[in-house]
Chains A and B, each alone.
Chain A
Amino acid sequence: MNGNQAAALAVKLSRAQVVCAYPITPQTSLVENIAEMWARGNFPGEYVSVESEYSALSYLIGAAYAGARTFTATSSQGLAYMHELLHWASGARLPIVMVNVNRTLGAPWSLEPDQRDSLSQRDTGWIQLYCSDVQEIMDTVIVAFRLAEEVKIPCMVIYDGFSLSHTYEAVQLLRQEQADLFLNPPPKSALIHPSRPQTVQPVTDYRYMARVVQAGHRAMMQVPGRLGEIDRLFAEIFGRKYSLAEETNFGNAETIFVAAGAMAQTVKSFLPLLDGGEEKNGLLRLRLFKPLPEEEIVSILNKPFIKKLVVLDRNLSMGIGGVFAQEIKALLQGTGFRGQIFELNLAGGIDLTLDLLRRGMERINAWQDGEEKIIWGVDL
């Protein structure tokens, strides 16, 4: 099955009660799959069609206030259109789960798997989990429901358009009885109910608002620890082990690549080819991005033998550089890390090939003081 089918099946196995979405390439087949299961009577919850992404998330905010387990999915322009409601969902602490399939934001029109759509929602207070293969998509959707409901923060499950959404590969299916064992029953804590008319989220002053955002931050800081526990439970029930940040370091690697999503597996497969098996290169795969698991990442990167970090960003914050690179730099500030940090920028959705990575590394290895530290994939 492909990534979109895996996500759809995981939503069913999670017994989502309300799904509301609007189709957009490359997410389309995900909602089509759920709609078809629902139309055939094979989906446990309700599927609701609406006329836009804005309405989809609005609908789910209402459903989540009423205590339902909710799911939506989108991509690119669709996620951007949801923007103000993303803040509302996190401010109201509603555990909505969403899939975002990475796709370039226009203009111009494009379908390539650029990460700017999800990363430009970095500050909306949603958890972000990046997946690297189809199996992980299926597993992460069910993990996301448990995590979101435990910490009462909405959660985005993110994967690359086409290179995961449309990629068919062999996966081990989750079984319903395992999923039921892993997930708690849907939250019953309805904030609104017809029998108890009330106003929610009234106008407040800064004092109450300050407490709300501070509480949101503190809940977010609990996420790495809670996810670690959920990962352990997942491994016990399903037998697959995930870590907050995945390290591939065969020994004393001098160069560590940092990447998220499908690109991370691509780089992992290239490591022995890049250095002829000398084990001079390693990889840090970012899985939990929002919030970054600081302790794990610093312990992976802050080693005396690491001389270079090469952060692969298929995104760009114009005027500063790749978003992942900026986050990693901020995290390493004050840790004593002495290596150089380079960016290999693939914004626009550039396909990462072995050849491109080799040419990028030639440039990085020949880098001299004063030269730009962003190596542009488009120029290689």
Chain B
Amino acid sequence: MFSEDLVEIRFHGRGGQGAVLAATLAAEVVFRMGYYPQAFPFFGAERRGAPVIAFLRYSSSFIMPRCRIYEPHCVVVFDPELPKEALLEGLKKEEGIILVNAENSHPFWSKGVKGYRLYTVDASRIAAGAGLISSGMPLVSSVMLGALVKVLKIAPFHVLEDCFKGKIPQPEENVHVAGRGFLEVKEVQSSDAIAR
């Protein structure tokens, strides 16, 4: 998928959306695929709704750097209204991938982002439709994980399914919405998309 062996992914969400959980479950997915994973969050003030960042690295060898990720290969955006500069900061130019929870007609994301491969999935609608809501906030992490596994081609879907068992409440609903994320994620063409 990427030219380097060490892949770095940054997750941007809001407290309560499950970005940290998604990063740790993604670590388990890549671990089951034979990679060394490293996943960690960084919180500011811990409160619902505040921006939260989580990180995932994976590589075919043991991962030693323990700094945060400043030049990711991929950013996963749980809330399409988070400040765009912070989301795209440092994203690798040539092969950078953006995966966003956004509807097809979103005023910003529907236009594509110059120089990057952009994928969207309407995760809030899918999660809410399956009743995965907490305090009025759709729990989008499983949908986003399903979409991420598809976009990065890191594992067959059943590996994700196995990771859910015993790790999260409502595993059936979560497997279902992850499957919809896997199937419904779409690539958004930018008018001057790079050749690939």
Contacts and interface: CB of A to CB of B under 8 A. Distances in A.
A164 B66 contact: yes
Interface residues of B, number: 20
Contact of A353 (B24, B36, B64, B70): B70
A169 B64 contact: no
A167 B40 contact: yes
Nearest to A165: B40
Interface in B142-179: none
Interface centre among B24, B38, B64 (most CB of A within 10 A): B64
B60 to A, nearest CB: 13
Given A2-B40, A162-B42, A170 B31 contact: yes
A266 B38 CA distance: 13
A269 interface: yes
A263 interface: yes
Interface residues of A, number: 24
Nearest to A355: B70
A254 interface: no
Nearest to B6: A269
Interface in A134-170: 160, 162-164, 166-170
Given A25-B46, A111-B43, A169 B67 contact: no
B68 interface: yes
Interface string B42-79: 11101000000000000000011111101000000000
A168 B66 contact: no
Interface string A246-280: 00000000000000001101101110000000000
Given A25-B46, A111-B43, A353-B70, A167 B64 contact: no
Interface in B1-43: 24, 27, 31, 36-43
Given A168-B27, A170-B31, A162 B67 contact: no
Nearest to A270: B65
A351 interface: yes
Contacts of A269: 64-65
A167 B65 contact: no
A352 interface: yes
Contact of A167 (B39, B44, B46): B39
Nearest to A3: B40
Contacts of A268: 64
Contacts of B46: 25
B69 to A, nearest CB: 10
B65 A265 contact: yes
Contacts of B36: 169-170
A354 B70 CA distance: 11
A247 to B, nearest CB: 16
Contact of A351 (B24, B63, B68): B68
* Max count, chain A CB within 10 A of own CB: residue among B38, B42, B44, B65: B65
Contacts of A351: 67-68
A268 B40 CA distance: 20
Contacts of B39: 167-169
B66 A265 contact: yes
A268 B64 CA distance: 7
Interface string A165-179: 011111000000000
A164 B39 CA distance: 10
A344 to B, nearest CB: 14
A161 to B, nearest CB: 10
Given A162-B40, A163-B40, A353-B70, A168 B24 contact: yes
Nearest to A135: B62
A168 B64 contact: no
A265 B43 CA distance: 22
A2 B21 CA distance: 12
A162 B41 contact: yes
A354 B71 CA distance: 12
Contact of B64 (A164, A265, A355): A265
A20 B37 CA distance: 32
A168 B37 contact: yes
A166 B64 contact: no
Interface of A: 2, 25, 111, 160, 162-164, 166-170, 262-263, 265-266, 268-270, 351-355
28 contacts: A25-B46, A160-B66, A162-B40, A162-B42, A163-B67, A166-B41, A167-B38, A168-B24, A168-B27, A168-B37, A168-B38, A168-B39, A168-B40, A169-B36, A169-B37, A169-B38, A170-B36, A170-B37, A265-B65, A266-B65, A266-B66, A268-B64, A269-B64, A351-B68, A352-B67, A353-B68, A354-B67, A355-B70
Given A168-B37, A353-B67, A354-B67, 8 more contacts: A111-B43, A163-B40, A167-B39, A169-B63, A263-B66, A265-B64, A266-B66, A269-B65
